[in-house]
Amino acid sequence: MRRGRPIDGGRERGGRAVFLRTFGWSFGVTLLGLAAAGYLWGADGFGVVLVLAILEISLSFDNAVINATVLRRMSPFWQRVFLTVGVLVAVFGMRLVFPLIVVGLTAHIAPLTVLRLALDSSRTYHGLSYAEHLDAAHPAIAAFGAAFLLMIFLEFLCGEKELRWLGPLERTMERVGRMDRLPVILTLGALLLAARFFAGDRAETVLLAGVAGLITYLLATGLSDRFEAVGVPDEEDAAEPAPARGRRAPLHVAGKAAFVLFVYLEILDASFSFDGVVGAFAVSQDIFQIALGLGIGALYIRSLTVHLVRQGTLDEYVYLEHGAHYAIGALAVILMASIKYTVPEVVTGLIGVAFIALALLGSVLRNRRLVDLEGDDRDDQDGGVGENPVVSRSIGL
């Protein structure tokens, strides 16, 4: 009797089970959310929520990849927290409550007045609606997000890396990056340039918001380094697919360190979503439609993040992390430029997708070259007996 079929079938069923366990929340919330949109706002509201969800998903692949680089350091428990509690924070906190806070602080409006503006799109305060006040707060939002994201990109670019994608650039930046606090210096320099050439009479606001973003990054990463404790993969980890090509599974953090990483991920999500929240008012003026549509999209991005971690995708396609960081660097530059110039969201999204696609292509080509090298080496050793230690090390065995 052949045993191969049952084994393969079991693997397929196991793969489907993992997929459904990861994306089940997303599918369920999508159905409920779209049904609620159709019931509350009719066909037009249904279409608006669907469009906003699709836009959020299509423009946030780089967010999922970069989230996965952090999430894989966390235990399965904290991964579930990110997928459940984290979604509530993202939907109600970052996409509903936080814009209200930003408008109140930047426009000096009382909380109840801001809430009334948000609930009634026809109401104005000092001649501006809620959406217009939020748009007026864009320089501060962009400066905060740009500083936070630019620090992520520069820390990656200047840090030591096991593998390099764009070799000449990354080797040069690693050498230059030996200068202490270079990412902080470059970020502050970029903020000064943005305030000088892009901000006009909002220069002080841009500088204050940018410095706040820089401090937030330093505080989050500093606390993470302070509390991080190396853990050992538990029994649930053993059920997850092993990293490809013999790479060691990353050890997981827990406790205070995991909580700080969770907070860091929420801030990172906010930095990615600020611009999308502002742009969503071009589709709808209803904050609840916006929160529902963007929330559905955010849930899929979170599910995709967890899926990337559980499938070991970042270990198999090793340049994806590089591509995501370059996309973050591009987004930081675009955010700074958007202080003065209007940059369509589709441009931002396409740049991010392009970096991810190129990194994926580079990873696939690299894997094929390594497989060919391994095959040639085995052919040279009496029918494949034995291994070349140089080739073995190059493919992570």
Each residue's pLDDT tens digit, 184-234: 999 999 999 999 999 989 999 999 999 999 999 998 888 877 776 444 444
The pLDDT of residue 252: 65
C-alpha distances out from residue 116 to 94, 107, 108, Å: 19, 14, 15
Cα 82 from chain centroid (whole Å): 13
Residue 72's nearest CA partner among 253, 317, 285, 335 is 253
- Among 246-250, 276-280, 339-343, the range of highest mean pLDDT: 339-343
Residue 359 is part of which domain span?
A: 4-394
Q: Can you tell me the mean pLDDT for 292-300?
A: 87
Confidence (pTM): 0.77
pLDDT, tens only, 32-59: 999 999 999 999 899 999 988 888 887 7
Q: Phi and psi at residue 125, in whole multiples of 5°? A: -135, 120
Q: State the total domains in the chain.
A: 1
The pLDDT of residue 187: 96
For 365-376, b/e burial (b = at least 16 CB within 10 A) is ebbeeeeeebee
The pLDDT of residue 101: 87
C-alpha distances out from residue 294 to 30, 94, 254, Å: 11, 10, 29
The continuous run of DSSP H or E covering 304 comes out as: helix 287-310
Nearest-10 Cα torsion for 3, 5, 9, 12: 110
Residues 6+ apart with CB under 8 A from 45: 37, 38, 286, 289
The pLDDT of residue 13: 56
Q: Report whether 394 contacts 370 (CB < 8 A).
A: yes
Higher pLDDT, 214 or 178: 214
The pLDDT of residue 381: 58
